Structure 1
Amino acid sequence: MVTVGSAVFEFATATRIVFGPGRLSEAPALVRGLGAERVLLVTGKNPERARGLQKALEAQGLVVSTYSVEGEPTVDVVRRGLSVLAEARCDAVVALGGGSALDAGKALAALATQGGDPLDYLEVIGRGQPLTGVALPFVAIPTTAGTGSEVTRNAVLGSKEAQVKASLRGPQLLPRVALVDPDLLIGAPPSVLASSGMDALSQLIEPFLSARANPLTDALAREGLRRSARSLRRAVLSTEPDAEAREDLALASLFGGLCLANSGLGAVHGFAAPLGGMFDAPHGAVCAALLSAVLETNLRALRERAPEHPALPRYRELATLLTGHEGASAEDAIEWVEALRGALRIPGLARHGLTLERVPELVTKARAASSMKANPLPLTDAELTHIATRAL
């Protein structure tokens, strides 16, 4: 019998989570407290955003080298970063940026002590060898509210050759410190808030419906869903500064990361991994385009093939959490998600290059994605095809 919300589980996360407005100022002392002397500071495509942190680290007596990740991280990006890290003889890694910078930083900290090539340890397209030993101390500081990468034990890397994204995975990828400062969202473009916020929303919904859901992640998902539902639209569409909305989005993202790391995801991210490799598409926008189609297809499959499945009543609870209305139906959750995507003006997958002709290729790759394993139930190729075409 399938169980959801099982009381048999384990929970792993960063050694220390530091949350709150203005807490970026604590980062230099935290890094120094890890015993670091020479730091690799990994940034996003605009390294100027990290200049203040770099100066503050140097004021602590740390020697700082920088490495900029201009797009979503690839195997080659990590290879180049490892060369920079080794040449500078860094003994710690700090990443400040969105999910791309954080994933690259995690990979660099873990692989620096491993030897070999990233493909030796990458799942799906690599050799999938387990990571061993102890990673370099790593501090993750997100500047977007979407991926939750600051508290997950995987790093997603793309491969241009294989046209797919895959993960490095292991406890070594958990940061020693995750520092989440909602003030770092100030000035983020509405499009970034929208796509990253929808990513966080999907990372709360999928673990809540996951075949691996457990009571601890359920509690985090419920709280994160309430906060995302009340603040995401407001944060994106409002022209006024809103500290409460920033805090809600930062917490929703953090909770989503904790949930996905410990309960898995589902078909949304099963599709997102190959889509990110096939096209130059923002991860959050891809998840947003897929979310309602996956919810609809999973609901129909559950009703047709597993009417006693414990995920079914969770759809009604999900609808209540999103809409705020007791007695909301499962369909209300799907309609709410689709209406939110429309309000945030997030386009379908065709905007990123997906065509009907490439749907069979996408379905084949999605079926093999690790995230599919936690979907409430296995989906048929016809159902996967329906999701992809509906999300166009």
Structure 2
Amino acid sequence: MTSPFAFATATQILFGRGQSAEAAGRIAAMGRRVLLVQGATAARADWLADALAAQGCTVTRLSVPREPDLPMILSAMDTARGAEVVVALGGGAVIDAGKALAACLTMTRPVLDHLEVVGQGLPLDHAPLPFVAIPTTAGTGAEVTRNAVIGVPEARRKVSLRDARMLPALAIVDPGLTDGCPRGVTLASGLDAITQVIEPYVCTRANPLTDALCRDAIPRGLTAIMRLMEAEDPQARDEMAWVSLCGGLALANAGLGAVHGLAGPLGGLTGAAHGAICGALLPHVLLANRQAVTDPALAARLDQVGAWIGAAFGRGGATLPQAVALLGDWSRAAGLPGLAAQGIDAAAQQAAAEAAATSSSMKANPAPLSVAALRAVMQAAS
């Protein structure tokens, strides 16, 4: 008998090449005063700004050049006031910033009251503005999650602003928008996407629907990222966009694990890029979990992940330790830096290991990992 579970996601998802052509008309139907949150290269969002203007919308544009933090969000609110709908066109950082602004613009309490870990973690006191997410990278799956990750420099942490009502009203996943993404970004974001279909599959809160998504996406993601490191490939871009979407759906409804439990504190402490941290940690967390897990069902899931990884490298029958060694070696050869090369030193590792205990991601990890075990993982990933 299947255990009861719940599943929530964006009100509507449009997936496929060419779907971004639908964006302007659908956004205009939600509101005529549009806040368009974009990446550092504003020209990449000109097509959408022009299409919205043609629909009779007044468009205010806001550039997000880096991962969002609390001062950035507070400063942007003055620019954003008066918007009726918020649209984010960009990578995970841009989508998180847009999602946070859609929530913060209707708040009557201080933003800090609603932040997890460093604040009170209170539910939103008002529903957010309608929010539309249009990703241009395949990694975070933020277009279908209910939280926004925000750095808090004073606390040297990245934490979540989270509420079920923060799920986007519309997510448009057009793989064509990821074509030509730089190789380093493709690698780091792709490994993040793969991590986000592996961790929900092996976590303690997996359910039949997230299992179905992850079982399909894990082998597809491994094949696609390997192809993209060899050459630009539209079909592989389509595959990675699908894997990223599956990861967002799965993590929002099951959970994550120690990779993300460590990545949040490490990013807050050092400013290192989230996807690169996750990619470096993934093989070593999988091995640590397999060594520590006591639940036979979860052990079997970890072994299945090892089998999928081995098969992607043409090593059918590889054990999990053998498979993760292949993955780690391949990632380094493809150009992924280790933690040390990302500026993550021993002091940051110690602080992150201690902070991970309070991370929401750690709650669903398949095995309890001590501070010493987490330190060993990070040392191996350096």
TM-score, length of structure 2 as denominator length: 0.96
Residue 371 in 1 paired to residue 361 in 2? yes
User: In the alignment, is the contact (CA less than 8 A) between 1:235 and 1:245 conserved in 2?
Assistant: yes
1:6: how far off? Answer: 6.2
Please give the residue correspondences for 1:236-247 in structure 2 after superposition, counting only pairs within 5 Å.
Answer: 236-238=229-231, 241-247=232-238
- Cα contact 2:332–2:338 (8 A) shared by 1: no
Q: Distance in 2 between matches of 1:93 and 1:27?
A: 12
Residue matched to 2:60: 65
Of stretches 152-161 and 241-250 in structure 1, the one that deviates more from structure 2 is: 241-250
CA offsets 1:289-344 (integer angstroms, 9 cap, x no match): 11111111111111xxx1x4311111222123233365442224322321331232
After superposition, the C-alpha distances for 1:62-107 in whole angstroms (9 at most, x for unaligned) are 1000111111000111112221111xx1100000000011001111
Residue 55 (structure 1) shift = 0.3
Matched, 1:215 2:202: no
Q: Mean Cα displacement is larger for which, 326-335 or 245-254?
A: 326-335
Indicate whether 1:386 and 2:373 are aligned: no
Query: Are 1:200 and 2:196 counterparts?
Result: no
Does the 8 Å CA contact 1:323/1:333 hold for their aligned counterparts?
A: yes
2:226 matched to which residue of 1? 233
CA contact (8 A) 1:57 1:64 kept: yes
1:270 aligns with 2:265: no
Please state how far the C-alpha of 1:279 moved relative to its aligned partner: 0.9
Match of 1:298 in 2: 289
Summarize the alignment of residues 263-342 of structure 1 with structure 2, pairs less than 5 Å apart.
Answer: 263-302=254-293, 306=294, 308-324=295-311, 327-342=317-332
Task: State the match for 1:157 in structure 2.
Answer: 150
Query: In structure 2, what is the Cα distance between the partners aligned to 1:157 and 1:359?
Result: 20
Task: Give the C-alpha shift of residue 356 in structure 1.
Answer: 2.2
Give me the whole-angstrom Cα distance separating, in 2, the residues matched to 1:233 and 1:140: 27
- How many equivalent residue pairs? 379
CA drift at 1:349:
0.8
Does the 8 A contact of 2:8 with 2:253 survive in 1? yes
Identical aligned pairs, as a percentage?
45
The answer as to whether partners of 2:39 and 2:63 remain within 8 angstroms in 1 is yes
Q: Which moved more, 1:42-51 or 1:347-356?
A: 347-356
Q: Is this contact kept in 2: 1:93–1:105, CA < 8 A?
A: yes
Taking the aligned partners of 1:243 and 1:284, their CA distance within structure 2 comes to: 21
Residue matched to 1:176:
169
- Which residues in structure 2 correspond to 1:36-51 (within 5 Å)? 36-51=31-46
The answer to whether the 8 A contact 1:316-1:328 is kept is no
Q: Is the 8 A contact 1:110 1:173 kept in 2?
A: yes
Alignment match of 2:250 (pick from 234, 259, 278): 259
Gaps of 5+ in 1: none
Counterpart AA for 1:69: V
Report the 3-state secondary structure (helix = DSSP H, G, I; strand = E; otherwise coil) of the residue aligned with 1:310. helix
Work out whether residues 266 and 348 of structure 2, in 8 Å CA contact, stay in contact via their aligned partners in 1: no
1:262-290 per-residue CA deviation (whole Å, 9 max, x = no partner) reads 11100000000011111121110000111
Of 12, 27, 52, 2:8 maps to 12
Distance 1:196 1:108 in 2: 23
Instruction: Tell me if the contact between 2:39 and 2:94 (Cα under 8 Å) persists in the aligned partners.
Output: yes
**Which range is displaced more, 326-335 or 292-301?**
326-335
The DSSP-based 3-state class of the residue aligned with 2:266 is helix
Cα pair 1:199 1:287 within 8 Å, conserved: yes
**1:187 aligned partner:** 180
SS in structure 2 opposite 1:254? helix
CA deviation string 1:99-128 (max 9, x = no partner): 011001111111211223221100001121
Counterpart CA distance in 2 for 1:320 and 1:380 is 26
Contact 2:108 2:125 in 1 (8 A): no
Partners of 2:17 and 2:140 in 1: CA distance = 19
In structure 2, which of residues 68, 78, 83 is the aligned counterpart of residue 83 of structure 1? Answer: 78
**Shift in alpha-carbon separation, 1:358–1:280, aligned structure 2, 3 A:** closer
